[in-house]
Structure 1
Amino acid sequence: MKLASLKQGRDGQLLVVSRDLSRAVTADGIASTLQAALDYWAETEPALQALYQQLNQGGCTDSFAFDPAACASPLPRAYQWADGSAYVNHVELVRKARGAEIPASFWTDPLMYQGMSDGFIGPYEDIRLAEEAWGIDFEGEIAVITDDVPMGTTAEQTGSHIKLLMLVNDVSLRNLIPNELGKGFGFFQSKPASSFSPVAITPDELGDAWRDTKVHHRLRVHLNGKLFGEPDAGTDMTFNFARLVAHISFNRALCAGTIIGSGTVSNTDRSTGSCCLAERRMLEILEQGEARTPFMKFGDRVRIEMLDAQGQSIFGSIDQQVIKYEAL
């Protein structure tokens, strides 16, 4: 099943979207918003699935052309957004850029930070930032959305709590990170609002590509129309999503609608490219002695997408331009 949120109010209007992303229908009578659907998922999911099958079979006379540019993020705002660093290879490279080695525990215990969740950037909306000097970077990731997860849920139990998946652009301001982390209190100003794909999908949409709670497809990132990277998301993922969910529910319960990110998708095979500028710059330093790829400038555009084995878009694309923020 594929779900989206039409821009409407603060929390959008829930849409059911066809498998090929061509048509959509409102979920009137089932749930007005995605958060409302997640709050009562056991009741709403069967009805939404039935509507989804009807839509795919051409049986919805009130369907309309799906326009991802008219959509907010599937959850326009969320009670919780926690982002991990499941690809430890990426963590190792980025920390080297700051002259920091990674502790051995990073390979056995997931990293996690709690990001801004009271408002996300729509998948086709501009990324508005005041200064290029902040070191503007994109980060291509995958995220899951859970239902209610009891405190102390183990990794063996968490798979059943993963209800939806999305793609992520975790916008990062690299030049603000060193001083902020130097305070010993984590990210804040260096992590502004993130963006998510126009469509969230249930895991069954991935078929055999969803196994061991990992997504086994390539994540494609284009910068200004040129392919920047296409690493395989199922390769080199040190901590799967079950482990990430268990990590944050270790001593707290998670409410329905919690979003958990994978961190930047990264492969040890350098030929697959990168999903963020910081990783590319670090590789340039290691191979050429200096970083040659600049961070994003105003006017730059990033596109993040995942295709299935037939070359069809699974989640729709995140397609955004960076522009200068002007205070009102």
Structure 2
Amino acid sequence: MKLASLKSGGRDGALVVVSRDLSCVADATGITPTLRDAIENWQQVAPTLQELANKIETGDVQTMPYSPAKLASPLPRAFQWADGSAYLSHMRLVRKARGVEMPANSETDPMLYQGGSDGFIGPVDPIPCLDTDWGLDFEGEIAVVTDDVPMGCTPEQAKSHIKLIMLCNDISLRHVMRPELVKGFGFFQSKPASAFSPVCVTPDELGDAWTGGRVNLPLLTVYNGEEYGRVHAGKDLTFEFPDLIAHAARTRDLSAGTIIGSGTVSNENHDEVGSNCLAEKRMIETIRTGEATTRFMEPGDTIRFEMLGEDSQSIFGAIDQTVVAG
């Protein structure tokens, strides 16, 4: 089942069910008004939403054309957005370029920060750039949405709490980030609103590509019209989503609608597959030549993230954004 949120529904959007081929959508507000309501009452409404999804495929329900420009991020806002760094190949490059060792427990204890979740950018909405000196960067990630997760949940238990999967562009301001980290008090100004794919999907939509904790497909990144990365999301992953969820729930309950991100999807063989953020490429340049030459984003730049299934069809639709001034 594929779900999305029309912008016309107010702050939380209006829920629609999307056809598998992303050609049309059907109004689902008669079942439940928003995705936020759906995830909070998942056991009750999911079967009826699935019935609507089935009717779309058989042509037994009225539909509207699929239009990403009319869609918000699936959850236009959420009670909680926590992002990890599950691909340590990315973190190793960042640390090496800075001349800093990895934490001693980096391979056993996940890293996670809590981002701003009161408003997300739509999947094809522009990315505002108020100051080019801030070091605007994109980050291609996978994200999951949970139902209610109890405190103390184990990784094995966490698998059943993953209800939806989507793509993410976790936008970062790299030159704002470093002085924030020096303070030792985490990200805030350096992490503006993120964007998510037009469509989120239930795990069964991924078929064998979903293992219960990871997506075994490449994430395609196109920067300024050229392929920048074709990085496999299932490889070189130190922490699966159940690990991240259990880590987040160690000392607190997670409310339904919590979004958990993987961090930048990264492979060890970056020379062959590319990268999913500018910072990673800059770190590679710094390690090899002592200087980063790749610039950060400026107004007019474009970034696109997409994931294709084994049938070469888009699964989540594409995050397709342009940087604009101001």
Residue type of the partner of 2:156?
E
Query: d(CA) in 1 for partners of 2:63 and 2:115?
Result: 35
Query: d(CA) in 2 for partners of 1:105 and 1:212?
Result: 24
Q: Number of residues paired by the alignment?
A: 324
Aligned to 2:106, the other structure's residue is in SS state: helix
1:212 deviates by 4.2
Aligned to 1:175, the other structure's residue is in SS state: helix
Query: d(CA) in 1 for partners of 2:130 and 2:48?
Result: 44
For residue 324 of structure 2, what is the aligned residue in structure 1?
Answer: 323
Q: 8 Å contact 1:218–1:232 — kept in the other structure?
A: yes
1:64 deviates by 1.1
Query: d(CA) in 1 for partners of 2:7 and 2:240?
Result: 32
Residue type of the partner of 1:148?
D
- CA offsets per residue over residues 149-195 of structure 1, 9 Å max, x none? 11101001000000000100000000111110010100000000000
Aligned to 1:118, the other structure's residue is in SS state: coil
Query: d(CA) in 2 for partners of 1:13 and 1:230?
Result: 33
Query: d(CA) in 1 for partners of 2:172 and 2:298?
Result: 13
* Alignment map for 1:1-328 (pairs within 5 Å): 1-8=1-8, 9-60=10-61, 62-270=62-270, 271-325=272-326
Q: 8 Å contact 2:15–2:27 — kept in the other structure?
A: yes
1:287 deviates by 2.5
Query: d(CA) in 2 for partners of 1:193 and 1:7?
Result: 16
Query: d(CA) in 2 for partners of 1:319 and 1:222?
Result: 9
Structure 1, unaligned runs of 5 or more: none
Aligned to 1:184, the other structure's residue is in SS state: coil
Residue type of the partner of 1:146?
T
1:282 deviates by 0.9
Q: 8 Å contact 1:98–1:178 — kept in the other structure?
A: no
Moved more, 282-291 or 263-272: 282-291
Residue type of the partner of 2:27?
T
1:289 deviates by 3.0
Q: 8 Å contact 1:3–1:74 — kept in the other structure?
A: yes
1:311 deviates by 1.2
Residue type of the partner of 2:196?
F
- CA offsets per residue over residues 41-60 of structure 1, 9 Å max, x none? 00100000010011011111
Residue type of the partner of 1:224?
N
Moved more, 278-287 or 33-42: 278-287
Query: d(CA) in 1 for partners of 2:274 and 2:127?
Result: 23
Moved more, 279-288 or 65-74: 279-288
Aligned to 2:29, the other structure's residue is in SS state: coil
Aligned to 2:11, the other structure's residue is in SS state: coil
Residue type of the partner of 1:180?
E
The percentage of aligned residue pairs carrying the same residue is 59
Shift >3 Å, 4+ stretches: none
Aligned to 1:107, the other structure's residue is in SS state: coil
Q: 8 Å contact 2:129–2:298 — kept in the other structure?
A: no
Q: 8 Å contact 2:123–2:198 — kept in the other structure?
A: yes
Structure 2, unaligned runs of 5 or more: none
TM-score (norm 2): 0.98
Q: Indicate the RMSD between aligned Cα atoms, in angstroms.
A: 0.9
TM-score (norm 1): 0.97
1:200 deviates by 0.4
